Amino acid sequence: MSTSSQYDVVIVGGGSAGITVAAHLQQSDRAPESIAIIEPSDTHYYQPIWTLVGAGVFDKEISERPMAEFIPEGVTWIQDYAETFDPDANTVSTQSGDTIEYNYLVVAPGIQLDWDGIPGLADAVADPRSGVVSNYAYEYCEDTWDTMQTLQPGDSAVFTQPATPIKCGGAPQKIMYLTADHLRKRGILDDVSVQFYTPGTVIFGVEKFARTLRDVVDRYGIDVHLHSELVEIRPDTNEAVIRGTGGGDSAPGERVVSYDMLHVTPPQSAPDFIKESPLSNDEGWVDVHKHTLQHNTYDNIFSLGDASSTPNAKTGAAVRKQAPTVVHNLLQLMHDGEITAPKEYHGYSSCPLVTGYGKLVLAEFDYDNEPDPTFSFDTSQERYSMYALKAYGLPQMYWHGMLRGRA
């Protein structure tokens, strides 16, 4: 039987963004009277650690916690999928047919992984013995480590990045550097061909960090192919079809590359239910102002995280800076009737680029690709301290700080 209910604030998605916003709202001395989170999953994942799971540093279970432990006390958890929005009536409908009415809405359902976007990918990645792996899903990230260990002299390890926006733009490279370092430790790096195919025009968009990454690529002897994208996988013959986009050194047209290990970052896009909703822009993302995170058409709607239209690098680190902006502006609108003194987000994002076991370059930058450092020392150099921060410090900060509204 369908029901209807009403809340001051409804949050769609209980991932990094949804839970962080709920925690900040609930703790505010101007907290709304009623908050609900629509989130279907029993489990909350700390996705950034999947890079190190794929490299054999941690078991995948380290990334999961029961969702129930992170829904803030006093917040109602509606365990369901949001399906459609009627912003003129201020309602969201769910998969089970319920209608939920809101005064203010925060939309944060993350990004969609389009495994079907590359022919051959969905079936190959689901088969742990195919050689095709991806750190982009909890259920697959351990296969990366299993496959990495099977590499032998004469083999090829191929890494790809799609042409679409993705979450954590550094993740396709991090696992490549870890694989190369693993091969180095085994003494077979010179005998395995490590290749990277990316549609990008540079190895990294911020020159300060790209400089170090070029040295890392040289050190490992990695073949980097810019202007190149994976368009098909032929798992029966262990072949990847790569299309040159015609820029730089890539010839237009297709070529076939053999692989023994193929790490794929899948194409990604806004979730279908967002694309089909009145909330989306032409590219399908929730259409918000890039500084205030307020919807460009509907004043009582905000969005942050991977599903929003803000042109920052999509990361959890960005979410940590966006959440206080959404909360400040939403509460001001709720209590004062307008946003007279908006809090602004300026595109901060951070990409901890793991360049080997115990080595990390911490890239922090803003909308203009200008470095936006937290630390006073130079994090464009490879450092153990920054690796330790990613492996041990940031997960604690996430579970105990960010998701509790304390960081």
Give the footprint of ligand FAD on this chain (CB under 6 A).
12-18, 38-41, 47-48, 50-51, 81-82, 108-110, 135-136, 167-168, 171, 271, 273, 305-307, 314-317, 319, 350, 352
- 67: Cβ–Cβ under 8 A, 6 or more apart, which residues? 14, 39, 41, 42, 43, 44, 77
Shortest Cβ 251–ligand FAD spacing (Å): 31
CA angle 28, 29, 30 (to 5 degrees): 85
Distance CA 167, CA 349 (A): 11
Shortest Cβ 37–ligand FAD spacing (Å): 8
Annotated catalytic sites, by residue?
168, 351
C-beta of 177 vs 189, nearer to ligand FAD: 177
Distance CA 372, CA 362 (A): 11
- The label of the residue with tokens 């911490």 reads 362
Shortest Cβ 300–ligand FAD spacing (Å): 19
C-beta of 261 vs 307, nearer to ligand FAD: 307
**Both structure tokens of 359:** 């080595």
What's the distance, Cα to Cα, between the start and end of the chain in Å?
40
Longest pairwise C-alpha distance within the chain: 67
Shortest Cβ 356–ligand FAD spacing (Å): 15
C-beta of 68 vs 251, nearer to ligand FAD: 68
Q: Which amino acid is at 251?
A: A
Strands 193-197 and 223-225, bridge-based pairing: parallel
Distance CA 14, CA 392 (A): 23
What's the DSSP call for residue 67?
Answer: G
C-beta of 100 vs 317, nearer to ligand FAD: 317
Shortest Cβ 204–ligand FAD spacing (Å): 14
Task: Give whole-number Cα distances, 246 to 201, 264, 367, in Å.
Answer: 11, 21, 27
- Return the H-helix or E-strand segment holding 395: helix 394-396
Q: Are 172 and 160 in contact (CB under 8 A)?
A: yes
CA-nearest of 234, 269, 338, 345 to 114 is 269
Shortest Cβ 261–ligand FAD spacing (Å): 16
C-beta of 242 vs 307, nearer to ligand FAD: 307
What's the DSSP call for residue 303?
Answer: E
CA-nearest of 343, 394, 296, 407 to 51 is 394
